[in-house]
Structure 1
Amino acid sequence: MATDYDAPRVTESDEPDTSLEQLTASRKDTQSPAVDVEDTDTAESFELPGADLSGEELTVRVIPKQVDEFTCTSCFLVHHRSRLANAGQQLCRDCA
């Protein structure tokens, strides 16, 4: 059987069998005004500034700034001297 691929295809789904009123009514039925809230979105999961952290222990080892490092005057990060943009200013290459 030969098939004409240039002819428009007509299927049952192409023919509109529902009215605009039926479509808007079914749309309103499927939408819910309630918002889904997960259990993790509670106020207990947020840390407030100024919270008492006296019982917490530091888990990261802090090393003081070394002789071959500098603090950028723009981003305030500590970089190695090889990242220094100018000798006159204390700016890293990213900020320069």
Structure 2
Amino acid sequence: MATDYDAPRRESEDLAEDSLEELKARRNDAQSGVVDEDEGAIAENFELPGADLSGEEMTVKVLPKQADEFTCSSCFLVHHRSRLAENRNGRLVCRDCAA
């Protein structure tokens, strides 16, 4: 059972006065009505105040791999040649994956 450490403490006389039925009723009330919600569903309905992005369209210019870049054979990311750690039988590996 969860304990609320911020709640005021009750005296031992008060605890002795609680009947078994009251304690059971409180436990059932605390457990009922609790519903786990999907965080993804909550995030979909979340809107920033004053931000109307309904008409916005994001455009990104994608460039092909340049002559001074390579694709790591381990993580498959495109890196600059300065990030090349080793060449394993023709397979280029970046510094992050070689470590």
TM-score, length-scaled by structure 2: 0.55
Aligned-CA RMSD value: 3.2
Structure 2 counterpart of 1:95, from 85, 94, 97: 97
The 4+ residue runs of structure 1 with deviation greater than 6 A are: none
Query: Structure 2 matches for 1:51-66, cutoff 5 A?
Result: 59-66=59-66
With over 3 angstroms needed to count, the CA separation of the structure-2 counterparts of 1:18 and 1:86, relative to structure 1, is: same
Higher mean alpha-carbon deviation, 81-90 vs 59-68, is at 81-90
CA distance in 2, matches of 1:81, 1:68: 6
Q: Which runs of 5+ in 1 are unaligned?
A: 1-10, 46-56
Separation of aligned partners in 2, 1:76 and 1:27:
54
Say which structure is richer in helix.
2
The secondary structure found in structure 1 opposite 2:79 is strand
Q: For this pair of structures, how many residues does the alignment match? A: 72
Looking at CA atoms only, which structure, 1 or 2, has the larger radius of gyration?
1
Identical pairs, percent: 57
TM-score, scaled to structure 1: 0.56
Name the structure where strand makes up a greater proportion of residues.
2
